[in-house]
Structure 1
Amino acid sequence: MAQIINEIYKRPYLSNLDPDVVKSTFEHDCEVQKQSH
């Protein structure tokens, strides 16, 4: 969970979103990063 919080601080626009949206966005980004490696 701390990782997601860190992402929010890195991306100010996410701080206004619902936590579930932030989490799903973060997880999606993780999937994209895995695929790109």
Structure 2
Amino acid sequence: MEDIEPITQEIEDQKEKWISRISLWVSIVLTTLVVFWYYK
């Protein structure tokens, strides 16, 4: 059981990294779209 802990922790860390990266990109894309739409 003890061997499983670090692996799941690592997976969780990677998930958080991906989630933060994706949310960053989503916010950038949304901002860009809003700006384009606004200045059309």
Length-normalised TM-score, structure 1: 0.53
Unpaired runs of 5+ residues, structure 1, are 1-16
Identity among equivalent positions (%) equals: 10
Unpaired runs of 5+ residues, structure 2, are 25-40
The alignment's C-alpha RMSD in Å is 1.4
* Pair member with larger Rg: 2
Give aligned pairs, total. 21
Residues 1-37 of structure 1 mapped to structure 2, 5 A cutoff = 18-37=5-24
Per-residue deviation, 1:27: 0.2
* Structure of greater relative contact order (alpha carbons < 8 Å, 6+ residues apart): 1
